Structure 1
Amino acid sequence: MAGMTMAGMGSGMDLESIIKTFVTAEKAPKEARLNNKEISITTELSGVGTLRAALADFQNITNKLGNTDTFYQSKTNIQYQGRSVDSSAVRQAGESNAILPITIETKGVVPKGSFDVKVTKLAQGARLESDFMPDRTVKLGQGIMYFDAGKDSFEVDVNVADTLQDIQKKINEAPNNYGIGANIINSDLGAKMVYTSDKTGVANDLTVFTSDSSLAMISSKMVGKAASDAIIAIDGNIITQESNTFTHAVSGVTITANSLTANNDVVNFSTATDHAAVSDLVHEFIDGYNRLISTINTLTDPETGSLKFDSTARSVKQQMQSITGGVVNGASSKLNTLYAAGISLEEGGVLAINPFGSHGSQSGAQRLDHAVNNALDDLGKLFSGNNGVAAQINAVLDNSLNNKGTITQRQSLLNTNLRSLEDDRDKLDRHISSYEDTLRKKYTAMDNTVSRYNATGDYIRNVLG
């Protein structure tokens, strides 16, 4: 320590080594215990974090599985000029069908059908242009400008000092602007104001007028293209809509017009129940469940697991196995277990679809195929009913993951223990410092005594000659 006298200088004894040995002997085991405790806490905290992430990932799957609509999906196919786009291809490969004249979206199960669509007109917003003015710095006058489109309106207050560019900014930044864009075109002939409206449909045509005639050039005297409706024909039936989205033309189907159909061509779209999407979701559930069980098995391994002494993960696993191996009350008596749907609980607690039957019975794959294609309602009740597999699992996951859940509380306790370790280290440092001071005082006193004895001895030897 700076400014401290080295012990043993008076007696010539190596008291510093003695003090250091005692201090090390006092500090080392206590520090080792704190280090081991910190390693244990951080290891467990990491394990709990891994468990939380695994549970949250699986809950993303069970949330989808718990939604009844998930089991009632439709698939569509669009054909146009030799090109065919299937909804499953769009979903799986990210392919876009927006480049086709129409886009199709479905909700729930749509009855099987086939329809020919012709897009004859797209809905557009109004576009108005003024006459040419000298440039964008021209000042026109003052007054209030009114912008009306259907049921929407807003106004802009123009001052006498405002330039054309100032007016443009005021229009675009008006707080109640419902979708009118003001732009200035600069050409060899001068500057002109252009208004474009996001509001489509004949009923939403744009009207601009002013309280003062000095602003007429950029309001009532502007000319251009009026707003228009979208028009399509489905199997020859004409349908008009103020936007390009048709939500009620075919039950359960939303049709969006993207572009006009060429010449006399039509777009054909067909609908059917998407059994494959349901099968994919069931397989996603099995894969997600098995990943979770694998994570729990790793975390609770009696030799290497970071949560080998923690009961939380084991409790979650036991509850999961009880649910997946149990009977779902309220489901169809023919399909009230995962096994009836072709899903077996295998050794190690994982789920599997057995490809082989035994003693003449159907294989797991055959049972699942039958449920998906012939008993969709019953399969939906098994998974997404009020007491379905997904609801039961989500209850377990919520109990672990919510703000007062077991995982959250465990993480909070471990973090508290980790912070407490810092206090323990501070206490140890203070104890060791005090212990070292005590040793130094003790050995300094001894050093001084020995030094005096040595001085007395030297004096006597000198006197006696």
Structure 2
Amino acid sequence: MAIRALGSASGLDLESLVTQLVKAERMTKEDRLDTTKKSLDSSLSGYGKLKSSMSKFQDAVKALSLDNLNARTATVKQPTDTKTYLEATAKTTAAPGVFDMKVKTLASGSRVESADLAYASASAVVSTTAGELTFGADGKTFKVNVTANMTLDELRQAINTNKDNFGVSANIINAGGSVGTKLVLTSSITGSTNDLSITNNNAALDGISTVPNSGGTAGLTVTKAAASAEVIIDGISTFSKTNTFTNALQDTEFTVQNVTPDGNNATLTIATDKKGTEDKLKAFIDSYNSLVSEVESLTRNRVLGADGKTVVSEGGALNSDPTVRSMLNMVTSALGKAVGSAEPGLNNLYSMGITMTNNGRLEISSSKIGSTSGRERLDSALKDNFDGIAKLFGNSDGFNTTLTSLVTQFTQKGGLLENKETSLKNSLSKNTKDREAYTRYIESYENTLRQRYGALDSQLGQLQSTSSMLSSQLASLSNIR
């Protein structure tokens, strides 16, 4: 069945009429839905920006913890530019100072060798009977099973591939002549008195042991004893089983890599990290100022022209939400308080050189207020009361703790900002569902109009047909004389 266009029967432009009616009906509701969605999207984006700025400020605050601000730098001046002799780190509790460091010896492991001419070749048999060797050093042990008629090379491989091997390396040197073939064992276990020890449970294995069984004669001897590292600090000798020294200087750890040249020692300087602290303070100031700028942008009012109608500039995405400025006011208020546990002369931001400008930003001012400028007060604190800065921020009632706690209320999961975002997302979801429902309504509305105007078109067509017939008949009657 062919589909007939509206108006084809009556000759009226009913198709255009229905199209205009549907368009008018659609625009009325869609404009409201579009306006609502635009507002919701803008608000959601605004809260995302605010949350991001709050989080960045929070990160800058966390960097001002007690441990971070008490940080110490450990700098080593090497004796020459060609080698690294010493590397060091210091805890926050290390005392600043400069130390002369002479690396006298490095820690080393022991070396064990078989006697000259003990073996003619790597295929020589080490024992005609089976047994077990136990390797030990500094409390560590592992065992190797020796099979009957095992060769020297087979023993080497059994040692090197043992899964419990703690650092013993077995090698064979085929020297020949008056030396013959030698079994050489090196241990990575360092420190004096930590020589490699090899015992057995079968006297037939004494030739490959450092300790004989039942008073026999050992075939392996220690040719190089394990040694400790020695470093002379300001003329005082200190020792370590390894090449790492922990607390030889209290709360400091250093590792030695090479022996220093005679008469040319390394210099270790432990100091407060003034530059790192100032960088963290500047990051704190910048992040707060960025937060202020973001809040101002998000909450700015719409500006109208002189006619009271023309929009000069649109308002911020969150200008209708008073809680946004309230959050910033709470942060600003916390910044203005004194820290009770801090030192009396350094218990607020102003005392360490950070002031609030007239436009609500933080700064380290070079302009003097009274007898000093902010720059001068900060320099003085960094030089003469470095640990006081750490107390101001890092103590339990310091700015790090109070600001972190405050901002966390806004940014945490389930916090104020997330709840705002969740509410907006729910509203956007409802907006989408409303749009889908309205689309279905418009389709139904258009179908209803088409049915009604289709019936009207048919009726008008019939009336026009009847009218034409009557007119024709009347014309025929008028011709009858």
Residue correspondence of structure 1 range 232-247 to structure 2 within 5 A:
232-247=231-246
Of 110, 117, 121, the match for 2:101: 117
Counterparts of 2:17 and 2:193, CA distance in 1:
98
Question: Where in structure 2 are there 5+ consecutive unaligned residues?
Answer: 114-118, 124-130, 146-153, 172-183, 202-209, 211-218, 302-313, 477-481
Counterparts of 1:381 and 1:144, CA distance in 2:
62
Q: Kindly state the Cα deviation for residue 24 of structure 1 after the two structures are TM-superposed.
A: 0.5
Counterparts of 1:395 and 1:292, CA distance in 2:
17
Q: Report what 1:102 is aligned to.
A: 86
Matched, 1:296 2:290: no
Question: Where in structure 1 are there 5+ consecutive unaligned residues?
Answer: 84-97, 135-142, 158-163, 185-193, 212-219
Cα separation, partners in 2 of 1:238 and 1:382, compared to 1, 3 Å: closer
Of 338, 341, 355, the match for 2:366: 355
Identity of aligned residues (%): 31
Contact kept, 8 Å, 2:54 with 2:407, in 1: the verdict is yes
Aligned letter for 2:410?
S
> What's the CA shift string for 1:349-394, capped at 9, x where partnerless?
1112222224x52222222223333333443332222221222211
Matched, 1:318 2:349: no
Q: Kindly state the Cα deviation for residue 346 of structure 1 after the two structures are TM-superposed.
A: 1.1
Contact kept, 8 Å, 1:203 with 1:242, in 2: the verdict is no
Q: Report what 1:74 is aligned to.
A: 72
Q: Report what 2:286 is aligned to.
A: 287
Contact kept, 8 Å, 2:272 with 2:386, in 1: the verdict is no
Counterparts of 1:9 and 1:210, CA distance in 2:
114
Cα separation, partners in 2 of 1:318 and 1:105, compared to 1, 3 Å: same
Aligned letter for 2:79?
Q
Q: Report what 1:338 is aligned to.
A: 349
Q: Report what 2:180 is aligned to.
A: none
Does the residue aligned with 1:438 lie in a helix, a strand or coil?
A: helix
Contact kept, 8 Å, 2:318 with 2:324, in 1: the verdict is yes
> What's the CA shift string for 1:55-98, capped at 9, x where partnerless?
11111121121x22233233344222366xxxxxxxxxxxxxx9
Does the residue aligned with 1:117 lie in a helix, a strand or coil?
A: strand
Q: Report what 2:410 is aligned to.
A: 400
Q: Kindly state the Cα deviation for residue 209 of structure 1 after the two structures are TM-superposed.
A: 11
Counterparts of 2:133 and 2:319, CA distance in 1:
74
Residue correspondence of structure 1 range 138-217 to structure 2 within 5 A:
none
Counterparts of 1:156 and 1:434, CA distance in 2:
89
Cα separation, partners in 2 of 1:438 and 1:209, compared to 1, 3 Å: farther
Counterparts of 2:39 and 2:425, CA distance in 1:
12
Q: Report what 1:190 is aligned to.
A: none
Matched, 1:380 2:379: no
Q: Report what 2:148 is aligned to.
A: none
Contact kept, 8 Å, 2:169 with 2:187, in 1: the verdict is no
Contact kept, 8 Å, 1:118 with 1:232, in 2: the verdict is yes
Contact kept, 8 Å, 1:110 with 1:273, in 2: the verdict is no
> What's the CA shift string for 1:264-320, capped at 9, x where partnerless?
532111223344433333233222222222222222222442222233431221012
Of 322, 326, 339, the match for 1:328: 339
Does the residue aligned with 1:268 lie in a helix, a strand or coil?
A: strand
Contact kept, 8 Å, 1:74 with 1:108, in 2: the verdict is yes
Question: Aligned-pair RMSD on alpha carbons?
Answer: 4.6
Q: Kindly state the Cα deviation for residue 398 of structure 1 after the two structures are TM-superposed.
A: 0.3
> What's the CA shift string for 1:111-164, capped at 9, x where partnerless?
3332222334445679999x9999xxxxxxxx999997755678999xxxxxx9
Q: Kindly state the Cα deviation for residue 183 of structure 1 after the two structures are TM-superposed.
A: 13
Q: Report what 1:365 is aligned to.
A: 375
Cα separation, partners in 2 of 1:178 and 1:21, compared to 1, 3 Å: farther
Q: Report what 2:269 is aligned to.
A: 270
Residue correspondence of structure 1 range 374-453 to structure 2 within 5 A:
374-453=384-463
Aligned residues: 422
> What's the CA shift string for 1:419-465, capped at 9, x where partnerless?
22211111111111111111111111111211222232344345554
Aligned letter for 1:337?
N
Greater displacement, 427-436 / 369-378:
369-378
Counterparts of 1:422 and 1:48, CA distance in 2:
20
Larger Rg belongs to: 2
Does the residue aligned with 1:442 lie in a helix, a strand or coil?
A: helix
| TM score, norm. by length of structure 2 | 0.72
Contact kept, 8 Å, 1:144 with 1:155, in 2: the verdict is yes
Contact kept, 8 Å, 1:115 with 1:234, in 2: the verdict is yes
Contact kept, 8 Å, 1:180 with 1:195, in 2: the verdict is no
Counterparts of 1:195 and 1:440, CA distance in 2:
100
Contact kept, 8 Å, 1:152 with 1:178, in 2: the verdict is no
Cα separation, partners in 2 of 1:321 and 1:14, compared to 1, 3 Å: same
Counterparts of 2:276 and 2:360, CA distance in 1:
26
Q: Kindly state the Cα deviation for residue 253 of structure 1 after the two structures are TM-superposed.
A: 1.3
> What's the CA shift string for 1:300-346, capped at 9, x where partnerless?
22244222223343122101211122233333333332122222111
Does the residue aligned with 1:387 lie in a helix, a strand or coil?
A: coil
Aligned letter for 2:440?
R
Counterparts of 1:146 and 1:252, CA distance in 2:
39
Q: Report what 1:137 is aligned to.
A: none
Counterparts of 2:168 and 2:34, CA distance in 1:
65
Contact kept, 8 Å, 2:40 with 2:428, in 1: the verdict is yes
Cα separation, partners in 2 of 1:147 and 1:435, compared to 1, 3 Å: farther
Does the residue aligned with 1:69 lie in a helix, a strand or coil?
A: helix
Aligned letter for 1:418?
L
Aligned letter for 1:387?
D
Counterparts of 2:170 and 2:317, CA distance in 1:
63
Counterparts of 1:9 and 1:195, CA distance in 2:
108
Cα separation, partners in 2 of 1:127 and 1:12, compared to 1, 3 Å: farther
Cα separation, partners in 2 of 1:144 and 1:35, compared to 1, 3 Å: farther
Q: Report what 1:216 is aligned to.
A: none
| TM score, norm. by length of structure 1 | 0.74
Cα separation, partners in 2 of 1:460 and 1:36, compared to 1, 3 Å: same
